[in-house]
Structure 1
């Protein structure tokens, strides 16, 4: 199990690395929460595809919420 030896524990990280992990996690959670709230409030007619599909896609780290905001919402005509 060579891969197990390379895993770092939280206590092994430097303060800068810990801060970076916390910032990245906060950004991810904020993006996902904002996307899910928008999806929940947006009428199905204003969403490209099914709302259930987009709800699952949003759960994919960083890529999901960004994809929803760029491709999942229909623009006002």
Structure 2
């Protein structure tokens, strides 16, 4: 059953806010890293990784796991 914001307990509201902030921070760090790297330092197109970073936690985590080329 879907609840409205006003129906959530204070603890649940805090959890939603903290998770939302964590998502925004993770996405911001990923976007900053993508912007600082050259295309040669990224696996695949940079624009694709920028778009993927908007997929909740999965996009930024996927970028950090698979999108960056390992430096030698």
TM-score where L is the length of structure 2: 0.96
Moved over 4 A (4+): none
Distance 1:68 1:27 in 2: 16
Alignment of 1:1-77 (within 5 A): 6-77=1-72
Structure 1: runs of 5 or more not aligned: 1-5
Question: What is the aligned-residue RMSD (CA, Å)?
Answer: 0.6
Structure with bigger gyration radius = 1
Structure 2: runs of 5 or more not aligned: none
Aligned residues: 72
Deviations 1:6-50 (A, max 9, x none): 321111000000000001100100000100011011111000000
Distance 2:61 2:67 in 1: 9
TM-score where L is the length of structure 1: 0.90
